[in-house]
Amino acid sequence: MDELGKALQARDFNSMGFKLIGHTDVRGTDEYNDMLSLQRAESVKDYLIRRFNIASGRIEVEGKGRRQPWYRQNTEDAHALNRRVEVIVVSK
């Protein structure tokens, strides 16, 4: 997250917005994972705002729950890799 915060502070990105999309592993209910993935994205947003003084209006958040796993294996490594936050550049 520190590298992301530094990048968001760079002059080249000053006029850009970003979307943080939270994901979970495939275990648990949709309802629980939707809430958890949104909280995951919100946590990253809060960290970037506090630590790097990024304007909150530049960052959108979304939670996708367990709907878009990268890995479908039922292993702890696969579950860990599916728990992530993606960053997308959004033109403002």
CB burial string 16-54: b at 16+ within 10 A, e below: ebbebbbbbbbeeeeeebbbbbbebbbebbeebeeeeeb
Specify the pTM.
0.90
Question: What are the structural domains of the chain?
Answer: 2-91 (3.30.1330.60)
User: H or E stretch including 43?
Assistant: helix 30-52
Which pLDDT does position 15 carry in this prediction?
84
Summarize pLDDT for 7-36 with one digit per residue, the tens.
888 888 888 899 999 999 999 999 999 999
